[in-house]
């Protein structure tokens, strides 16, 4: 699949005050979901105005630019660029001017039938300016709106056509909608504010704005967010959940509650399960900051082994994961993490990371700990071996990337240079999340996909044929 991928965050607010600053604040809170571009669109009573750019929220949405726009209803987006590049041209919300007014759309997820639909619509004369599936959605919406200008009908018509993962914040002139794909693969939660309502990829932004969580948007549900209420339009009868388990393991903020399970709690549970499944005789448990921190706390609680911080992380360093080649990625890991020598020297250490993809991070960190004087370095991993690509919005696309496809656990242990290596089991991570396995998307660790994808095994069919 080509085109920009959407490992992103969305927000939408409809309230009794100018919401621009709140949108900006919410985007800063969910910046863990994307650091390459940011944008907001607000309706000022006549038109939708948008400010968006490349860079962190502070850079893309500086005070002097956002104070020029105003509106009581608006949406926002943070984007994690992978194949689509980091440029401003890929920043969202994406906007469109149509015969019935203006639309703005912010999207988290990936459509799995994007290429097929795009080809079909191009054959009918549709024109696309980007490689983005968000453009396809907004185009389809505009096309379906054209018929009788009923947004709910138009959204349902689009949902019946597209497959895959999507959590959307949509504005059609001054009306705002939240939409979650039929399996709820990507998260979307509703919050109540003093003078209105909001939706967001992560609940932590709701608390940051002084609000309260109302509930998650249900799989396949369309909601309209007004200042005084949330209107809900029929989730499909046959909807089943397939929450992405990796949101809890790695992607989301620890203080977020997703589909009623707090990320921090789940990560601590993962550590506890790891202590049971792969115990170790060591002096200290150490996290790989930041995402491995709660995992390590859980391991320490369950095992009684003291927890210590052994690495200082340089927060301003770039993302190592998407750097182009192995040497650059390895160098970037050592620029980002510095061992605390006094904590490490002469100790038998167990480190926990959330996942191993290529093995770059752990290989480098194990050797850095040894250089800093560690006597033994044991590794535990908070997700089962990653063996299959994600087609739903997490940047793990290529089977060739995954070290666990080419090597046994023992071989991986040797490659990363650890004294021992233990991955949590699939059953273990399901137990830690506390939802039935059938309600989770575990495709990257069991290669069984919750929607139909050509050439891949699928669990059940999810076409939204029963949404009117
Ligand atoms: P690797 O170094 O290739 O084994 O990648 C694993 C490391 O990257 C772990 O420390 C994770 O926290 C992080 N990670 C895992 N998946 C992703 C992803 N899709 N995007 C960015 N970072 C990731």
For the chain, the average pLDDT equals 92
Q: In angstroms, rounded to a whole number, what is the distance separating the alpha carbons of residues 105 and 141?
A: 10
Task: Tell the residue nearest (CA) to atom 3 of ligand 1.
Answer: 358
Does residue 291's CB lie within 6 angstroms of at least one atom of ligand 1? yes
Does residue 415's CB lie within 6 angstroms of at least one atom of ligand 1? no
Q: Which residue has the higher pLDDT, 80 or 81?
A: 80
Q: Which residue has the higher pLDDT, 129 or 349?
A: 349
Distance from residue 387's CA to the centre of ligand 1 (Å): 13
Decide: residue 181, CB within 10 A, 0-12 exposed, 13-18 middle, 19+ buried.
buried
Record the tokens describing residue 343, joined without a space: 């904590």
pLDDT at 85 (0 to 100): 62
Does residue 247's CB lie within 6 angstroms of at least one atom of ligand 1? no
Nearest ligand 1 atom to alpha carbon 291? 12
Residue 222: pLDDT over 80: yes
Give rounded-to-5 percent helix, strand, coil for the chain.
35, 25, 40
Does residue 444's CB lie within 6 angstroms of at least one atom of ligand 1? no
pLDDT at 292 (0 to 100): 87
pLDDT at 87 (0 to 100): 73
Distance from residue 158's CA to the centre of ligand 1 (Å): 33
**3-class secondary structure for 3-28?**
CCCCCCEEEEEEECCCCHHHHHHHHH
Residue 206 dihedral angles phi and psi, to the nearest 5°: -65, -45
Q: Which residues are bridge partners to 171 per DSSP? A: 104, 176
pLDDT at 83 (0 to 100): 54
Q: pLDDT digit string (tens) for 12-28?
A: 999 999 999 999 999 99
Task: Tell the residue nearest (CA) to atom 19 of ligand 1.
Answer: 395
Does residue 263's CB lie within 6 angstroms of at least one atom of ligand 1? no
Residue with structure tokens 């009306």? 175
Residue 452: pLDDT over 90: no
Q: Cβ of 138: how many Cβ atoms within 10 Å?
A: 24
Decide: residue 322, CB within 10 A, 0-12 exposed, 13-18 middle, 19+ buried.
middle
* Nearest Cα residue to 34 out of 313, 322, 267: 322
* Nearest Cα residue to 387 out of 293, 438, 331, 457: 457
Does residue 357's CB lie within 6 angstroms of at least one atom of ligand 1? yes
Distance from residue 356's CA to the centre of ligand 1 (Å): 6
Q: Cβ of 120: how many Cβ atoms within 10 Å?
A: 12
Task: Tell the residue nearest (CA) to atom 20 of ligand 1.
Answer: 395
pLDDT average, residue stretch 199-217:
98
Record the tokens describing residue 279, joined without a space: 């115990």
Instruction: Tell me the Cα Rg of the chain.
Output: 22
Mutation pick for ligand 1 pocket among 165, 287, 355 (CB with most ligand atoms within 8 Å):
355
Q: In angstroms, rounded to a whole number, what is the distance separating the alpha carbons of residues 398 and 401?
A: 5
Question: Cβ distance 170 to 158 under 8 Å?
Answer: no
3-state secondary structure of 291: coil
Q: Which residue has the higher pLDDT, 367 or 239?
A: 367
Mutation pick for ligand 1 pocket among 263, 357, 413, 416 (CB with most ligand atoms within 8 Å):
357
pLDDT at 343 (0 to 100): 94
Record the tokens describing residue 87, joined without a space: 């440029």
Pairing of β 167-172 and β 175-180: antiparallel
Q: In angstroms, rounded to a whole number, what is the distance separating the alpha carbons of residues 387 and 394?
A: 14
Helix (H) or strand (E) holding 189: strand 189-193
* Nearest Cα residue to 359 out of 397, 327, 390, 403: 403
Decide: residue 115, CB within 10 A, 0-12 exposed, 13-18 middle, 19+ buried.
middle
pLDDT at 152 (0 to 100): 95
Does residue 389's CB lie within 6 angstroms of at least one atom of ligand 1? no
Q: In angstroms, rounded to a whole number, what is the distance separating the alpha carbons of residues 128 and 241?
A: 32
Q: In angstroms, rounded to a whole number, what is the distance separating the alpha carbons of residues 51 and 62?
A: 10
First-to-final CA distance of the chain:
30
pLDDT at 462 (0 to 100): 46
pLDDT at 4 (0 to 100): 44
pLDDT average, residue stretch 239-259:
93
Does residue 359's CB lie within 6 angstroms of at least one atom of ligand 1? yes
pLDDT at 420 (0 to 100): 98
Distance from residue 285's CA to the centre of ligand 1 (Å): 20
Does residue 356's CB lie within 6 angstroms of at least one atom of ligand 1? yes
Distance from residue 91's CA to the centre of ligand 1 (Å): 23
Does residue 261's CB lie within 6 angstroms of at least one atom of ligand 1? no
Task: Tell the residue nearest (CA) to atom 8 of ligand 1.
Answer: 321
pLDDT at 468 (0 to 100): 32
Does residue 321's CB lie within 6 angstroms of at least one atom of ligand 1? yes
Distance from residue 146's CA to the centre of ligand 1 (Å): 43
Distance from residue 181's CA to the centre of ligand 1 (Å): 25
Q: Buried b vs exposed e over 258-292: b needs ≥16 C-beta within 10 Å?
A: bbebbbbbbbbbbbbbbbeebebebebbbbbbebb
What residues contact 48, with CB distance under 8 A and at least 6 apart? Answer: 41, 42, 71, 95, 102, 103, 104, 171, 173
Task: Tell the residue nearest (CA) to atom 9 of ligand 1.
Answer: 355
Q: Buried b vs exposed e over 381-398: b needs ≥16 C-beta within 10 Å?
A: bbbbbbbbbbbbbbbbee
Does residue 395's CB lie within 6 angstroms of at least one atom of ligand 1? yes
Residue 360: pLDDT over 70: yes
Name the residues annotated as catalytic: 8
Distance from residue 455's CA to the centre of ligand 1 (Å): 25
Residue 466: pLDDT over 50: no
Helix (H) or strand (E) holding 298: helix 293-303
Nearest ligand 1 atom to alpha carbon 359? 4
Q: Which residue has the higher pLDDT, 467 or 291?
A: 291
pLDDT at 236 (0 to 100): 64
Residue 37: pLDDT over 70: yes
Pairing of β 257-258 and β 261-262: antiparallel
User: Cα-Cα-Cα-Cα dihedral of 321, 325, 327, 332, to 10°?
Assistant: -30
Of 155-169, 319-333, 393-407, give the range with the top mean pLDDT. 155-169
Residues in the chain: 468
């Amino acid at each position: 699949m080509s085109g920009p991928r959407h490992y992103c965050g969305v927000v939408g607010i409809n309230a009794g005050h100018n919401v621009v600053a709140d949108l900006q604040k919410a985007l800063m809170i969910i910046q863990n979901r994307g650091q390459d571009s940011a944008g907001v669109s607000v309706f000022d009573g006549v038109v939708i105005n948008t400010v968006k750019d490349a860079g962190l929220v502070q850079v893309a949405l500086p005070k002097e630019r956002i104070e020029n726009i105003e509106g009581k209803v608006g949406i926002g987006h943070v984007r994690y660029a992978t194949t689509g590049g980091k440029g401003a041209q890929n920043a969202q919300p994406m906007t469109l001017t149509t015969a019935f007014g203006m639309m703005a759309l912010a999207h988290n997820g990936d459509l799995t039938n994007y290429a097929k639909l795009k080809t079909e619509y191009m054959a009918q004369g549709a024109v696309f300016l980007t490689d983005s599936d968000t453009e396809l959605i907004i185009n389809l919406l505009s096309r379906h709106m054209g018929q009788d200008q009923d947004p709910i009908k138009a959204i349902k018509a689009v949902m019946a056509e597209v497959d895959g993962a999507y959590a959307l914040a949509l504005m059609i002139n001054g009306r705002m909608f939240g939409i979650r794909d039929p399996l709820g693969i990507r998260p979307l939660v509703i919050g109540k504010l003093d003078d209105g309502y909001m939706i967001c990829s992560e609940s932590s932004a709701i608390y940051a704005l002084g609000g309260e969580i109302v509930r998650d948007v249900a799989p396949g549900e369309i909601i309209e967010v007004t200042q005084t209420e949330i209107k809900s339009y029929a989730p499909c009868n046959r909807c089943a959940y397939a929450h992405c388990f990796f949101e809890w393991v790695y992607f989301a903020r620890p203080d977020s509650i997703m589909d009623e399970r707090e990320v921090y709690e789940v990560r601590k549970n993962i550590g506890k399960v790891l202590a049971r499944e792969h115990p170790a005789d060591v002096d200290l448990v150490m996290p790989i900051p930041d995402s491995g921190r709660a995992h390590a706390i859980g391991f320490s609680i369950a095992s009684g082994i003291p927890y210590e911080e052994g690495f200082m992380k340089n927060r301003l360093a770039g993302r190592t994961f998407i750097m182009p080649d192995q040497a650059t990625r390895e160098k970037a890991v050592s620029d980002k993490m510095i061992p605390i020598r006094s904590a490490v020297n002469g100790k038998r250490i167990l480190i926990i990371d959330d996942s191993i993809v290529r093995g770059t991070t752990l290989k480098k960190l194990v050797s850095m700990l040894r250089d800093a004087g560690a006597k033994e370095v044991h590794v535990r991993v908070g997700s089962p071996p990653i063996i299959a690509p994600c087609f739903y919005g997490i940047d793990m696309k290529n089977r060739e990337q995954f070290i666990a496809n080419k090597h046994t656990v023992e071989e991986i242990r040797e490659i990363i240079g650890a004294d021992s290596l233990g991955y949590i089991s699939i059953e273990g991570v399901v137990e830690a999340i506390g939802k039935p396995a059938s309600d989770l998307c575990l495709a990257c660790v069991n290669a069984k996909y919750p929607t139909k994808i050509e050439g891949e095994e699928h669990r059940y069919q999810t076409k939204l044929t029963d949404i009117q």
